[in-house]
């Protein structure tokens, strides 16, 4: 199968490696030759590291590299059976690139976007044959992260959807189907991990280090929310939050934080700039958390119930199946458990009571309990996630 990749940044290069490893012939396109050269050199480094770790041998490295061509004209993607775009998150730029690409490709070629939050329907509407367009959202780093969200637009044909589902499976990735709504599954459901942690900090209940400690210690999360936001970068993480907030008609559940906004405005973007919620300078002192067990468990419970509520609401609105929602959160962002399975474990009644307590304290719509949780609690049901 011939695969086209538009954009050779970290994500585009990673997807190219995945496809080439699976035996596809891959053409990576970028307008800048220096970017293509950098991508090629980076792949060589990655493959050499895999050889050092004895994951592959020299023969396999040569096979993967031989499967990838680097091109600087969209016309060179004319023979691609599937093209995946991984460029800047700008709707108009994506539409313009897709329109040009369509003029070179056959009627049967599939065109996919790796967008994390933009409307697939809007992208598809720019083409003469919108039924060929679909969302295929990988997670960074693409060769390591198993999850791929597959997002059919309302225009996408069943044939295209089925083909892409099979391709992703053939690439040995975990594919989950999501409705074309802002943030799809992961970037929607994960918002409270950041947003409620920020709210707890802004209320003065705990500092960054204590909140991170609580989520790791009592929740089993590999990284706390402030560590993770610093790792992702505040330019990226804040923009996704802002986009989801706007696209959901300013629903207060997704309201961005001024604390993070100011960091982004100051250029304190996290690890990549040496400063974010934490200072990563050589002589920086590590902030010690306040290891208060009662406080830590209160923090976990508050963040966890908001995450569960978001996952339940995604199911209520048919964004994805219960199984796919839990798969997305464990395979896409390494949560220790699926949120719906976690809700079963904690008890649906526990979830409803926690949310009602928060709502009664704040009287803010962000704490409204999902109708699905209320219904399940009334009928003594649990989530079917297997």
Instruction: State the residue for tokens 């297997």.
Output: 386
Q: Do 382 and 344 form a contact (C-beta atoms < 8 A)?
A: yes
Our answer to whether residue 363 is catalytic in this structure is no
Q: Cite the DSSP H helix spans in the chain.
A: 10-21, 33-52, 58-66, 91-104, 120-124, 158-170, 186-189, 191-202, 208-217, 225-232, 234-247, 258-266, 293-316, 322-332, 339-346, 348-362, 371-378
DSSP state letters, 59-79: HHHHHHHHTEEEES-GGGGTT
The span from the first CA to the last CA of the chain, in angstroms, equals 33
3-class SS at 343? helix
Element (H, E) at 152: strand 147-152
Q: Do 291 and 213 form a contact (C-beta atoms < 8 A)?
A: yes
Q: Do 234 and 260 form a contact (C-beta atoms < 8 A)?
A: yes
Our answer to whether residue 377 is catalytic in this structure is no
At what angle are helices 10-21 and 58-66 packed, to 10 degrees? 110
Q: Do 178 and 184 form a contact (C-beta atoms < 8 A)?
A: yes
> In whole angstroms, what is the distance from residue 68 CA to residue 25 CA?
6
Please pick, among 116, 117, 237, 344, the residue that the annotation labels catalytic. Answer: 116
Our answer to whether residue 137 is catalytic in this structure is yes
Query: Residue 106 CA to chain centroid, in angstroms?
Result: 31
Our answer to whether residue 217 is catalytic in this structure is no
Q: Do 313 and 339 form a contact (C-beta atoms < 8 A)?
A: no
Please pick, among 39, 137, 234, 257, the residue that the annotation labels catalytic. Answer: 137
Please pick, among 39, 67, 114, 187, the residue that the annotation labels catalytic. Answer: 187
Catalytic annotation, residues? 116, 137, 149, 187
């Amino acid at each position: 199968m011939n695969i086209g990749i538009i954009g050779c940044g970290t994500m585009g290069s990673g997807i190219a490696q995945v496809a080439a490893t699976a035996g596809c012939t891959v053409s990576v396109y970028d307008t800048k030759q220096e970017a293509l050269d950098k991508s090629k050199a980076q792949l060589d480094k990655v493959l050499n590291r895999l050889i050092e770790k004895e994951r592959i041998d020299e023969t396999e490295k040569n096979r993967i590299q031989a499967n990838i061509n680097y091109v600087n004209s969209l016309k060179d993607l004319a023979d691609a059976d599937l093209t995946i775009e991984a460029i800047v998150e700008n709707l108009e730029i994506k539409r313009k690139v897709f329109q040009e690409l369509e003029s070179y490709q056959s009627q049967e070629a599939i065109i996919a976007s790796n967008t994390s939050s933009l409307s697939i329907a809007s992208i598809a509407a720019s083409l003469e044959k919108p039924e060929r367009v679909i969302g295929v959202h990988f997670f960074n780093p693409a060769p390591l992260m198993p999850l791929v969200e597959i997002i059919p637009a309302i225009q996408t044909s069943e044939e295209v959807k089925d083909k892409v589902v099979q391709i992703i499976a053939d690439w040995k990735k975990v594919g989950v189907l999501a409705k074309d709504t802002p943030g799809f599954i992961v970037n929607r459901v994960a918002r409270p991990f950041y947003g409620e942690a920020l709210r707890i900090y802004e209320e003065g209940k705990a500092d960054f280090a204590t909140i991170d400690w609580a989520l790791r210690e009592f929740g089993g999360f590999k990284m706390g929310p402030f560590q993770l936001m610093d790792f992702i970068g505040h330019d990226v993480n804040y923009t996704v939050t802002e986009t989801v907030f706007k696209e959901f008609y300013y629903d207060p559940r997704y309201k961005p934080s001024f604390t993070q906004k100011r960091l982004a405005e100051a250029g304190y973007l996290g690890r990549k700039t040496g400063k974010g919620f934490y200072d990563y300078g050589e002589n920086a002192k590590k902030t010690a958390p306040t290891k208060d067990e009662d406080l830590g468990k209160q923090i976990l419970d508050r963040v966890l119930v908001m995450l569960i509520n978001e996952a339940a609401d995604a199911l209520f609105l048919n964004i994805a199946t219960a199984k796919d929602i839990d798969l997305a959160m464990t395979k896409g962002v390494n949560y220790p458990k699926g949120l719906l399975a976690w809700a079963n474990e904690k008890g649906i009644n526990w979830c409803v009571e926690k949310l009602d307590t928060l709502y009664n304290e704040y009287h803010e719509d962000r704490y409204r309990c999902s109708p699905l949780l209320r219904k399940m609690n009334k009928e003594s049901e649990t989530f079917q996630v297997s």
